[in-house]
Amino acid sequence: MDDEVEVFGRRLRLRIEGPDADRRFSAFIDDLGRDRPLTRNPVRGRSAADARDRALEVAHNLLGIERLQELIVLLAGELAPGAYVELTEDARAIGADLSGPWELAQPLSIERDDIYDPDFDPHAVEEQIRLHFVTHLRRAGG
């Protein structure tokens, strides 16, 4: 079963296969715009609907992080020209710091729970990121 969906403006195809010998279904997520899989491994579920729902959640989370990182790089380029953006990830948050001619007095950090919220909108967090940069941005060594 194939299903085309859109997540954060990206067209994806969810291919559901199964059940396998363990009576599990697998959802493969293909990024149609980039003509490649979004994940290395399929998302598994106890039913076709469960695998599909889990795959949509995984796609939302991965693409939400990607969009957030793109936005951070874009704003850093605008507010701190020439700075190198150092993106970080850990179990709790997505972060960013700057190096080169600019630095942040306090690195940016956005909780994964916020990003994983089904209503997460990267553009809505743009002002929060901009405010953080403007508040904590300074010339390196200064």
Of 61, 77, 97, which one is at a domain's C-terminal end? 61
The verdict on 96 and 125 lying in the same domain is yes
The verdict on 70 and 36 lying in the same domain is no
Of 61, 79, 111, which one is at a domain's C-terminal end? 61
26-70 confidence digits (pLDDT tens) = 999 999 999 999 999 999 999 999 999 999 999 999 999 999 999
pLDDT reported for residue 59: 97
The verdict on 42 and 76 lying in the same domain is no
pTM for this model (two decimals):
0.88
CA-to-CA dists, residue 131 to 17, 36, 127, angstroms: 46, 36, 6
Which residues share a beta bridge with 26?
17, 44
The verdict on 37 and 50 lying in the same domain is yes
Could you tell me the residue range of the domain that residue 35 belongs to?
Answer: 2-61
In the DSSP assignment, the letter for residue 131 is H
> Residue 46: which region, alpha, beta or left (left: phi > 0; alpha: psi -120 to 50)?
alpha
* 116, pLDDT greater than 80: yes
100 token code pair:
């080169």
The verdict on 19 and 69 lying in the same domain is no
Contact of 43 with 27, CB cutoff 8 Å: yes
63 φ/ψ angles, rounded to the nearest 5 degrees: -75, -30
Coil, strand or helix: which one is 59?
helix
Domain count, the chain: 2
The verdict on 69 and 133 lying in the same domain is yes
Q: Please name the helix (run of DSSP H) or strand (run of DSSP E) that holds residue 95, with its range, or none.
A: strand 93-99
Q: Please name the helix (run of DSSP H) or strand (run of DSSP E) that holds residue 130, with its range, or none.
A: helix 126-136
pLDDT reported for residue 142: 67
Where residue 119 falls among pLDDT bands split at 50, 70, 90? confident
* 121, pLDDT greater than 70: yes
Contact of 33 with 75, CB cutoff 8 Å: no
The verdict on 31 and 78 lying in the same domain is no
The verdict on 73 and 134 lying in the same domain is yes
34-43 confidence digits (pLDDT tens) = 999 999 999 9
Of 23, 43, 61, which one is at a domain's C-terminal end? 61
The verdict on 124 and 90 lying in the same domain is yes
The verdict on 118 and 51 lying in the same domain is no
131 token code pair:
């405010």
Q: Please name the helix (run of DSSP H) or strand (run of DSSP E) that holds residue 36, with its range, or none.
A: strand 36-37
The verdict on 128 and 82 lying in the same domain is yes
**pLDDT averaged over the chain?**
95
